[in-house]
Amino acid sequence: MARSEIRAVHSFAVDQAAHGSTVVGAASMYNPYRPGYREGGTSTATGERYDPSAWAAAIQTDLREKFGGVRHGSRASYALVEGTDKKAIVKINDVGPLKPGRVIDFDEQTMRYFDSTLRLGVIQNVRVTPLSGDDWTPGPVAQR
């Protein structure tokens, strides 16, 4: 089976596993290792070390229960994120964003997928839907 066929099947599986209500709002990026990104720290809410290339994100603190109750020592949860005509699975392993009006903060890898130049700063109207289970591989999802 060709790789694109596998990704298309995976896209169907992702759509089927999406559960709960979708949250729509703005997304931004955080990276405690880059100058100018002073929010957060190098450890995530689940206790994992921040990795700018991990396809991970921090969900708004008020939404943590909807996304698996992200807390120190807990397992990360997963979400389907849609924006700028792209889809990706991200691991929710932290809480934030600290800026009003934003529902999710991406790590650098995830933000580069949605904004390859990193010039937008904020991506509006991003859809974030919790995924059931914990057997997901974070990264881009092929469009059907």
Tokens of 76: 């990360």
> Structural domains in the chain?
3-141 (2.40.40.10)
Residues 6+ apart with CB under 8 A from 116: none
Report pLDDT digits (tens) over 71-80: 777 888 999 9
* DSSP structural state of residue 75: P
Report pLDDT digits (tens) over 103-120: 999 999 999 999 999 888
First-residue to last-residue Cα distance in the chain: 16
Can you say how many angstroms the Cα of residue 129 is from the centroid of all Cα atoms in its chain?
Answer: 10
pTM over 0.95: no
Place of tokens 């591989």: 137
